[in-house]
């Protein structure tokens, strides 16, 4: 499985609108992308203008599909001017939980 740890610094005057759009993006990812297993959104405790995302995908193909999904493209277009600095993305391979193989039919 693939995981992305994303950090986004938001301009303070756009924080509330950004969070609304981010939640729509998260819901769209979890509901419309079978390869998206987790899309968590957290607000930094020390700085409320910083958002942290933890996303888990079935594989790299699912990540690629996510990046081209209409709801993601709409989110990026809607929020581009609200972001204070380039988005930070850390690409990870999951260690736990391990990828589960499908059980053979009984």
pLDDT in tens, 33-83: 999 999 999 999 999 999 999 999 999 999 999 999 999 999 999 999 999
Q: Is residue 88 part of a domain?
A: yes
Q: What is the pTM of this model?
A: 0.87
Domain count within the chain: 1
**What is the dihedral sign for C-alpha 82, 86, 90, 91?**
positive
Q: Is residue 105 part of a domain?
A: no
Q: Is residue 100 part of a domain?
A: no
Q: Is residue 104 part of a domain?
A: no
List 97's β-bridge partners, or say none: none
Q: Is residue 99 part of a domain?
A: no
Residue 84 belongs to domain spanning: 2-93
Q: Is residue 79 part of a domain?
A: yes
Contact 83, 49 (CB under 8 A): no
- Residue 96's pLDDT is what? 87
Q: Is residue 72 part of a domain?
A: yes
CATH of the domain at 11: 3.30.70.100
- Residue 103's pLDDT is what? 42
Q: Summarize the confidence of residues 93-103 as an average pLDDT.
A: 72
- Residue 100's pLDDT is what? 62
Q: Is residue 98 part of a domain?
A: no
């Amino acid at each position: 499985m693939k995981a992305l740890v994303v950090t986004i610094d938001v301009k303070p005057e756009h924080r509330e609108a950004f969070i609304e759009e981010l939640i729509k993006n998260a819901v769209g990812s979890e509901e419309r992308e079978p390869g998206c297993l987790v899309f968590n959104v957290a607000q930094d405790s020390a700085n409320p203008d910083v958002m942290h995302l933890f996303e888990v995908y079935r594989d790299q193909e699912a990540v690629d599909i996510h990046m081209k999904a209409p709801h993601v493209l709409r989110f990026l277009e809607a929020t581009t001017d609200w972001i204070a600095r380039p988005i930070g993305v850390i690409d990870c391979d999951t260690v736990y939980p391990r990828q589960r193989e499908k059980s053979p039919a009984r």
